[in-house]
Chain A
Amino acid sequence: MATTQSRTLARMMLFPSVILLLGWMIVPLCMTLYFSFVDYNLLIPGEREFVGFLNYEFFLTDPAFFESFFNTLYLVTGVLAITICGGIGLAILLDQAIWGRNYVRIMVLAPFFVMPTVSALVWKNMLMNPVNGLFAHFAIWLGLDPIDFFAQMPLFSIIIIVSWQWLPFAALILLTAIQSLDREQLEAADLDGAGPFSKFFYIVLPHLSRAVTAVILIETIFLLSIFAEILVTTSGGPGYASTNITYLIYTQSLLQFDVGGGSAGGIVAVIIANIVAIFLMRLIGKNLEG
Chain B
Amino acid sequence: MGSITLKKVTKNFDEVNVIKPLDLEIKDGEFIVFVGPSGCGKSTLLRMIAGLEDTTSGNIEIDGQDATHTPPAKRGLAMVFQSYALYPHMSVRNNIAFPLKRAKVSPAEIESKIANAAKILNLTDYLDRKPGQLSGGQRQRVAIGRAIVRQPSAFLFDEPLSNLDASLRVNMRLEISELHKSLATTMIYVTHDQVEAMTMADRIAVFNGGIIEQVGTPLELYQHPVNKFVAGFIGSPKMNFIDVTNDSNAQTQSLGVRPEHFEISTDSGTWQGTVGVIEHLGSESFLHVTIEDGSTVTVKADGDCPLKYGDTIYLSAPEHKVHRFDKNGLTIKNAAP
Contact = CB atoms under 8 A, between A and B. Distances in A.
Given A184-B85, A185-B87, A206-B89, A190 B102 contact: no
A211 to B, nearest CB: 13
B83 A192 contact: no
A194 interface: yes
B335 interface: no
Contacts of B81: 184, 187-188
B87 A202 contact: yes
B98 interface: yes
Contacts, number: 60
A208 to B, nearest CB: 11
B83 A184 contact: yes
- Identify whether the interface residues of B are mostly helix, strand, loop, or mixed: loop
Given A182-B85, A203-B87, A188 B79 contact: yes
Interface in B24-53: 50-52
Contact of A191 (B78, B87, B88, B89): B78
A105 interface: no
Interface in A84-113: none
A125 interface: no
User: Which bucket holds chain A's interface residue count?
Assistant: 10 to 19
A192 B52 contact: no
B72 A190 contact: yes
A195 B79 CA distance: 17
A152 interface: no
A207 B89 CA distance: 8
Contact of B98 (A184, A194, A206, A209): A194
Contact of A193 (B79, B86, B89, B102): B102
Given A192-B99, A193-B102, A198-B102, A187 B89 contact: no
Contacts of A203: 87
B9 to A, nearest CB: 19
Contacts of B141: none
Contacts of A202: 87, 90, 98
Nearest to B82: A184
A143 B246 CA distance: 98
B98 A192 contact: yes
B295 to A, nearest CB: 43
Interface residues of B, number: 23
B195 interface: no
Contacts of B99: 191-193
Nearest to B50: A191
A193 B85 contact: no
B103 interface: yes
Contacts of B51: 190-191
A190 B73 contact: yes
A154 B79 CA distance: 55
B261 interface: no
A191 B98 CA distance: 11
Given A193-B73, A193-B99, A198-B102, A188 B85 contact: yes
A213 to B, nearest CB: 13
Contacts of A192: 73, 98-99, 102, 146, 150
A194 B97 CA distance: 12
Interface of B: 50-52, 71-73, 77-79, 81, 83, 85-90, 98-99, 102-103, 146, 150
Given A187-B79, A192-B150, A193-B73, 19 more contacts: A184-B83, A187-B52, A187-B72, A187-B81, A188-B146, A189-B87, A189-B98, A190-B52, A190-B72, A190-B73, A191-B51, A191-B78, A191-B99, A192-B99, A192-B146, A202-B87, A202-B90, A206-B90, A207-B89
Question: 8 tightest A-B contacts by CB?
Answer: A192-B99, A193-B73, A184-B85, A188-B85, A193-B102, A206-B89, A190-B72, A184-B81
12 contacts: A182-B85, A184-B81, A185-B85, A187-B52, A187-B81, A189-B98, A190-B71, A192-B73, A192-B146, A194-B98, A207-B88, A207-B89
